[in-house]
Structure 1
């Protein structure tokens, strides 16, 4: 799946057939998957052409398209955002969306697609207030969910599988002996995850002074840093490491430190993914200008969701299953929203940094004649909220 694909033989397609299939596949992905931000470069700066070149590589060899998606880390530690720590209806919708796109591509290109989720959970878990064990549990449950829904559609990989497998403990210890990582947020670590983080930064980390300079001089890096800072202030507000600080300025200082470390680790992880998967289709849950090599996607297909404006999309990323809960509207469409918005109140009294929904969306949830009920799985785990008529029986 990685660099071995370079050795795949060419198919019997003619050059014209390869071009025709490539064009159809790219059009499907453009219409059903690509997220177009305000300053998009998909149609300019060669973005679409670079993406098409990677599609053509696979089509010319008659092999499945390989999507690489760093995602599905762990549920947010903020109880005002999600329904709990386990995958739920939000993750289901993401998997269903993958299937929708896969079926559309399969109709024009027989080999179809594979989704390779390379979880970034342990890359950031100690920074976002999640214990390493929680990341492992979430990953196992997500993989089981994906496999049960659509066997063979999704592969799931963890950081340690890339960096620690097939290496002796002595060789790993020697590699990371001079590398440490900071932990400004209190979480419970596991030796395996910590060794993987240290190996990541040892092999692919960049110089801190370079990032410091870019935050100062480069508007795109500076905006990312500010976005991370604001987002983490929201995510960590009720976490003990943030909540126990004496002032809001101290909280902001902690979250700015976390934001800086997140950029460092994100760059290292991106470098590792690019090295391991040089020719695959690199997609992301973050908005990107789409000039390549990363391309932003709408992780929930438009056919499944009601139109909504998201403060997350504006400030940081496309709404994700691990930062939101799902509400199923009476018309069968879904919305990804913070759980406190669906409930109409916060579990905690802490200030939320995010914007509130527009009035029209609030009215949609609270319209006369309907109420919200919590839907659960057979084992009692929460799945999502559902809008039902007050005349309906539970």
Structure 2
């Protein structure tokens, strides 16, 4: 598969179709390692399977495709040190191809396969992260075009405007929080008490701080850090509200996440591309061809190594690492007779 070149031989394991499918998904897990992870910090345990097996088995009993939901693909980060622009590029394309291939690969274990609903959360917190709603809408329109271009017929999208149609985005956000959000004070208390929630807060806060610092001039790091700390609690509040809405609208679906999750979470954190950063996502980075495949890095990291910018269709697409041609393997390899 695109994300890690998984072969069918690697994915073929004896067991029930439900466990084989979960084993496939778990092979791309984005884990938040913590004290509670214990024996499954480096793999999986029976409890990991038991949390999700009933949902998989229900789909199999009904003879219909498995249904995954993943809140993801909100909009590009506003930080030019991380991304190439405001529209989807090769990073999104590779990630969408991975999700489609994940659905395809499930057919090896269960013929109806799977489908994925991308629950785009761009409008959920666009005002908090400094991305205009018009930019979010343009990103979503181009994302649909990419899905069509790659023939991703197992993927559909769902957004805030689908949940609350006919209302301005600001009213949609108000309706989301009034129906599904808990008070920010409760989010703050949970963050202080729960190591998993604290890890999520740390990742969100880091993203916000990096983006706001890149766009701020004449401000101290401490003042920006304090501002983004408050924003992080609000982003988590709305993100949790969106998660609750998605669970309400799609109660039978298996829940994927682009954030690292502890092993025994009701959500399965998942990587869609090779990366060395457990928190990096396609909308916070760029695609880099390093000669062994395409991995996700931040724009400034690609430029620091002297990578070459590639254009596709008259638009910025991705980077190629320097001297990559020296490490490329031939397409046909001679074998000893």
Give yes or no for TM over 0.5: yes
Corresponding residue SS for 2:118: strand
Inter-partner Cα distance in structure 2 for 1:27 and 1:214 = 31
Match of 2:259 in 1: 286
More divergent stretch after superposition (44-53 vs 129-138)? 44-53
- Where in structure 1 do 4 or more consecutive aligned residues deviate above 6 Å? none
Instruction: Write the distance in 2 (CA, Å) between the matches of 1:84 and 1:199.
Output: 30
For structure 1, list consecutive stretches of 5 or more residues without a partner in the other structure: 1-18, 170-191, 345-364, 367-371
In the superposition, the TM-score normalised over structure 2's length comes to 0.84
Distance 2:152 2:67 in 1: 16
The question of whether the paired residues in 2 share the 8 Å contact of 1:51 and 1:292 is answered with no
RMSD value over aligned CA atoms?
A: 2.3
Q: Answer yes or no: is 1:211 the counterpart of 2:187.
A: yes
State whether structure 2 residue 202 is matched by structure 1 residue 226. Answer: yes
Show the counterpart of 1:28.
24
2:214 partner SS: coil
How far apart, CA to CA, are the structure 1 residues paired with 2:267 and 2:324?
46
- Structure showing greater Rg: 1
Matched residue SS, 1:383: strand
Query: How far apart, CA to CA, are the structure 2 residues paired with 1:338 and 1:76?
Result: 11
8 Å Cα contact 1:147/1:154 also seen in 2: no
The residue matched to 1:80 in structure 2 has which SS? coil
* Mapped partners of 1:27, 1:218: distance in 2: 27
Matches of 1:94 and 1:29, distance apart in 2: 14
- Specify whether residues 92 and 116 from structure 1 end up closer, same or farther in structure 2 by C-alpha distance, changes over 3 A only: same
**Conserved? CA contact 1:225–1:260, under 8 Å:** yes
Give aligned pairs, total. Answer: 306
Between the two structures, name the one with larger relative contact order (CA 8 Å, sep ≥ 6).
Answer: 2
Per the TM alignment, residue 231 of structure 1 is displaced from its structure 2 partner at its CA by 2.4
Alpha-carbon distance in 1 for matches of 2:264, 2:73: 24
| Aligned position for 2:74 | 73
From 276, 282, 301, the equivalent of 1:341 is 301
CA distance in 1, matches of 2:68, 2:103: 10
Counterpart Cα distance in 2 of 1:48 and 1:342: 38
CA separation in 2, counterparts of 1:99 and 1:205? Answer: 31
- Structure 2 counterpart SS, 1:210: helix
Q: TM-score, normalised by structure 1?
A: 0.72
Structure 2: distance between partners of 1:258 and 1:75 = 18
